[in-house]
Chain A
Amino acid sequence: MTFKATVTVRRRPTILDPEGKAVEHALQSLELRGVARLRIGKLIELHVDAADADAARATVDEACRKLLANPVMDDYTIALEEAGA
């Protein structure tokens, strides 16, 4: 089966995100009221061929641990769905 995985990689909340801060300031200079705590992460999509969802998730999790996220500074979440034909 083929699964589509969507990986979201975020800097840990305790780590300063200067890029997010700069964008937040830009939004505030647009005078959009109430905008705060903007943070920027990464969204990564990939397809995985695997016997079942658990196997697919295990593969994506390994990909995250070894490359897609840096355990020193990132957290990640994985969303999995069956890929359409």
Chain B
Amino acid sequence: MAAHRFGVVVFPGSNCDHDAYHAVKHVMGQDVRFLWHKESDLGGADAIILPGGFSYGDYLRCGAIARFSPIMKEVVRFANAGGHVMGVCNGFQILCEAGLLPGALLRNASLRFVCREVHLRAENTDTAFSNALTAGQVLTIPVAHGEGNYYTDRSALEELEARRQVVFRYCSADGALTPESNPNGSLNNIAGIVNRAGNVFGMMPHPERSMETLLGSDDGIGVFQSVIQALSRRETASVEV
């Protein structure tokens, strides 16, 4: 199967861009290139990753300024045309600020920057970002953020749940949704969501840091494998048409 091309956007202050690049290229064996935030062309990418970090120093609000980078116009256009976009950590914050995902990420309820492994339960495995997982599967993946407290108003939250847009929730090691397993105070233990169309995804934990057992966990592979499978299926479908 031919490799798919991923684009990893680099904002001033991104610091997980090389991890994402490594995960996609060396672990998953795909084609990948960096996309500088001032570029206005996605370089023929089949999928876009907005990596973690502290774009623009987190000034004003996390992700608020990155959203206006020249490349984001193209990312929004790509997403609106059905392209797969995945944001991790600061990338998730940027997608919310850009209006590509609903809600916002507030300061952690504890007020502390939380940097540790957490457990995630796969809630909806019918998405382009989770199809390689089984429903209820528990992943161990690290978080590293000060503003990961997912918030939206009640009606938007109900809609999010009704449409099964919650992909991952924080849970205990055995998959129970407990307040203790929620590292940041997120509503309904939400760790990752997709948009209504299912092509834009954001999560606070870092799958790109969980790609090799040597480094603690390779549970992040499933997320990238899912995207690759989704891209392959789409390719096959378009050939058949």
Contacts and interface: CB of A to CB of B under 8 A. Distances in A.
A67 interface: yes
B106 A15 contact: yes
A67 B109 contact: no
B198 interface: no
Interface in A1-56: 11, 15-16, 18-19, 22
A39 B151 CA distance: 18
B22 interface: no
B108 interface: yes
Given A67-B60, A67-B68, A73 B110 contact: no
Classify the secondary structure of B's interface with A: loop
Contacts, number: 34
A70 interface: yes
A60 to B, nearest CB: 15
A18 B103 contact: no
A18 B104 contact: no
A73 B60 contact: no
Contact of B64 (A16, A18, A19, A70): A70
Contacts of A15: 106, 151
The interface residues of chain A, by DSSP majority, are classed as mixed
B61 interface: yes
A72 interface: yes
B208 interface: no
Contacts of A73: 104, 106, 151
A54 to B, nearest CB: 26
B14 interface: no
A68 interface: yes
B104 A70 contact: yes
A16 B104 contact: no
Interface residues of A, number: 11
Interface string B149-163: 001110000000000
B111 A18 contact: yes
Interface string B79-91: 0000000000000
Contacts of B65: 67
Contacts of B151: 15, 72-73
A16 B185 contact: yes
Interface string B114-154: 00000000000000000000000000000000000001110
Interface of B: 60-61, 64-65, 68, 96-97, 102-104, 106-111, 151-153, 185
Given A67-B64, A67-B65, A72-B96, 8 more contacts: A16-B185, A18-B108, A18-B185, A67-B60, A70-B61, A70-B104, A72-B151, A72-B153
13 contacts: A16-B106, A18-B108, A18-B110, A18-B111, A19-B107, A22-B111, A67-B68, A70-B61, A72-B103, A72-B104, A72-B151, A73-B106, A73-B151
